[in-house]
Chain A
Amino acid sequence: MAREDDQFEKAIVLLNAKLLGIVLGILLGTGLFLATNFLVLKGGKNVGAHLGLLANFFPGYRVTFLGSIIGFCYAFVLGFLTGGIIGSVYNKFAKV
Chain B
Amino acid sequence: MAPRWRFPRWAGAVPSRWIRGAIWMENRHQEVENRETLEGVGRPRWNIGWKRLSEGEYNCTNAPYSTQFYTRDWMTADEKTAADRQLLLAFAPLHRSALGEACGVVGGVILAAATLVLVLRGGYPEPNLGLLSQFFWGYSISWRGVLIGLFWGWATGFTLGWGFAVVRNAVVWAWLTVIRSRAEMDQYSDFLDHL
Contact = CB atoms under 8 A, between A and B. Distances in A.
6 contacts: A10-B7, A12-B93, A13-B65, A16-B66, A16-B67, A57-B117
A91 to B, nearest CB: 8
Contact of A5 (B16, B69, B110): B16
Interface of B: 6-7, 13-14, 16-17, 19-20, 65-73, 75, 79, 82-83, 87-89, 91-95, 97-99, 101-103, 105-106, 109-110, 114, 117-118, 121, 124, 127-128, 161
Contact of A12 (B7, B16, B87, B128): B7
Contacts, number: 114
Interface residues of A, number: 33
A87 interface: yes
A19 B71 CA distance: 20
Contact of B79 (A1, A3, A86, A93): A3
Q: State the majority secondary structure of interface residues on A.
A: helix
B94 A12 contact: yes
A71 B97 CA distance: 33
Given A12-B7, A12-B93, A56-B118, A7 B106 contact: no
A41 B75 CA distance: 58
Contacts of B161: 86
Given A5-B16, A10-B6, A85-B102, A93 B97 contact: yes
